[in-house]
Amino acid sequence: MNFAIMMNVIKSKNPFQLMNFITRTAAIMLSAACALGAMATAPADEQHEALVKDHKPIFFGEGETPQSDSIRNLVENFYYDQFRSFQDPQAPYFLFMSRDSQLAMGIGGMVRMRGYFDWGGTTGTPGFSPYFIPTQRDELNRQRIGSSPAGTALFFRVIGRNKRLGDYQLYIEANFNGYQTRDFHLKKAYATINDWTIGYASSTFGDGAAVPPTIDASGPTMKMDGTNVLVRYMHHFRKSGIYVAASVETPDMTVQEDGTSTAARSQFMPNIAAMVQYEWLTGQHIRLSAITRFLPYRDMINSRNHQKVGWGLQFSTVFRPGDPLTVYATVNGGRSYSNFGGDFLLGKYDLVANPEKPGQLNTVPGWGYFAGLQYNFTPQVFMSATFGQGRYLPHHGTAAGSDYKYGLYGAVNLFWYLTPRISFGAEANFGERMNFDGTHGWGHRVGALAQFSF
């Protein structure tokens, strides 16, 4: 990625130049992915194979025990999810299966414990987000040690086949990411019947598989990992390896309203998201995603209602150029699109005030990217590195120079799978927050992970 071109895009406030940059970057990603995709069995595939074999089926119903191929197909269905991420739990160890191979049910979970130490610029949060890095020296919080059980989860999944309905799936997941990272709350709850999904699920705009592995729960700065109540249609053209999907999703927004000159209105139009993906091998793909958002507000000065339109595009890929190496890359951009993750989710950046015209709120252009490499020394031990950036580009400047301008995020880690279901890891994080007035701060963290799945 040419540095001079990148700096020109950063300085530019033209969304068309931004999209041109993203499109050219995506073309490079596609060329690299298609040229470097490997056909050999990689250590990452061997790790998955070991996990698939690490199950205890319990059969019910009459008849003989099904063939090993039928058992494997049912087990693989537990891992088949185009919106799955590294942070998601593995399939449960105990699986209840019908002898006719038409139904499988699993109840599982994981215990995940993280510990961390911050210095130089503490974020004050379990997740390492550049948005929270202080730009002024804070003598009271120069170092911080913390721990969190966030990510500890329980889940329930049913997969089956019915003569009338066809293939179906039910999934419920709850974890401890609530108040002080200890409250139990719902994370996902959805039903899938053939090509249709209804419920509380990952947004169609995201691509969890293209996010590099991290111990830090927040992950790269512009990771789009929103979860919404949605209705989604997704179809797989098996001969070509192409997936297409579209969804309507429950909206949400954060607005810089002051209650005097501007006020947020109730949203009455759903978000519309879509994606198209080409997968040449299992776990290796390139994807284009898009989203449109409708953002209403009221001009209190002129007593008028308005509705702005936000939109976003995202190109993402994950592929293996060689047996031990996996490449992850994502670039996204648009206007007021980032309520689905990343640093912008932590502030009020859907509609922002225009300092030059009181009573007016505007959508805001922005963009971000992250890239990661994973190297498997063995199927059980791998190392990964990630770097990313998010940019906020208001047309009319900001009311305060201390407003967030951009954030940098980096992570280097090492994972060790003692067994397919017991893993440990260590990670170093660094990040920077830059404000519009030039003030900035750096944050540093080292962390550790112990995770047990069942």
- 50 is a domain residue: no
- The number of folded domains in the chain is 1
Domain range enclosing 121: 22-43+115-150+201-453
What is d(CA 230, CA 38) in angstroms, rounded to the nearest whole number? 35
- 213 is a domain residue: yes
Report the candidate in 218, 244, 214 with the shortest Cα–Cα distance to residue 232. 244
- 107 is a domain residue: no
List the structure tokens of 311: 């939109």
Which pLDDT score, from 0 to 100, does residue 13 have? 46
CATH assignment at residue 121: 2.40.160
Check residue 48 and report its DSSP letter. Answer: H
What is d(CA 83, CA 246) in angstroms, rounded to the nearest whole number? 13
List the structure tokens of 27: 């073309």
Torsion of CA 104, 57, 425, 343, to 10 degrees: 0
What is d(CA 86, CA 82) in angstroms, rounded to the nearest whole number? 12
- 73 is a domain residue: no
- 106 is a domain residue: no
Which pLDDT score, from 0 to 100, does residue 181 have? 56
Secondary structure of residue 267 in the 3-state scheme:
coil
Phi and psi of 253, rounded to 5°?
-155, 155
- 447 is a domain residue: yes
What is d(CA 360, CA 358) in angstroms, rounded to the nearest whole number? 6
User: pLDDT tens per residue, the chain (454 residues)?
Assistant: 444 454 454 444 454 554 455 445 545 544 544 444 444 456 777 776 677 676 777 777 777 777 766 667 777 777 777 788 888 888 888 888 887 777 888 888 899 999 999 988 777 788 888 888 888 877 777 888 988 888 888 998 888 888 888 888 899 998 877 545 567 788 899 999 999 999 999 999 999 999 999 999 888 888 888 889 999 999 999 888 999 999 999 998 888 888 888 888 888 999 999 999 999 988 899 999 999 999 999 988 988 999 999 999 999 999 998 889 999 999 998 888 876 567 777 777 788 888 778 888 888 888 899 999 999 998 889 999 999 998 887 776 666 667 888 889 999 999 999 988 899 999 999 999 888 888 888 989 999 999 998 8
- 49 is a domain residue: no
Which pLDDT score, from 0 to 100, does residue 82 have? 78
Cα–Cα separations (whole angstroms), residue 304 to 69, 263, 264, 350, 361? 64, 11, 12, 19, 12
What is d(CA 330, CA 369) in angstroms, rounded to the nearest whole number? 6
Alpha-carbon torsion (30, 34, 39, 42), positive or negative: negative
For the entire predicted model, the pTM comes to 0.83
- 311 is a domain residue: yes
